[in-house]
Structure 1
Amino acid sequence: MSDITWEAPFCQDGSNCFRIGTDADGNAYIAVAGQEDRYLTDSREALQALIAEIKAGKADHLL
């Protein structure tokens, strides 16, 4: 496994923080901040698509 470069945590209202990371092999990672050893991974393209759908409001029903 390659080293993961994590972005700064993103927090909604000071809680529910998560982090996005990438590696040199083109993989993307998402984890709860502080639990980066327990992540989900997929391609960068899949993560970009997920973020675009969330920004478009297609996940609002889950909140």
Structure 2
Amino acid sequence: MSDITWDEPFCQDSGNCFRLGTDADGNAYIAVAGHEDIYLTDTIDALRTLIRDIKAGRADHLL
């Protein structure tokens, strides 16, 4: 497994904080801040699509 490079936490108003990460193999990761050892992984394109859907209001219930 490649090393994961985590971005700074993204926090909603309610205090839910998530971190996004990537690795050199083209995988993307999302985890609850402080629990980066438990994460979901997919391709960078899939994570990019998720983020776009959240920003467009189509998946805001996930946050």
The two structures have a TM-score, normalised by structure 2, of 0.91
State which drifts further: 20-29 or 9-18: 9-18
Aligned pairs, number: 62
Letter in 2 for 1:32: V
- Residue in structure 2 matched with residue 21 of structure 1 by the alignment: 21
Coordinate RMSD, CA, aligned:
1.3
Q: Which 5+ residue runs of structure 1 have no aligned equivalent? A: none
Q: Which 5+ residue runs of structure 2 have no aligned equivalent? A: none
* Contact 2:31/2:40 (8 A) holds in 1: yes
Moved beyond 6 Å, runs of 4+: none
The two structures have a TM-score, normalised by structure 1, of 0.91
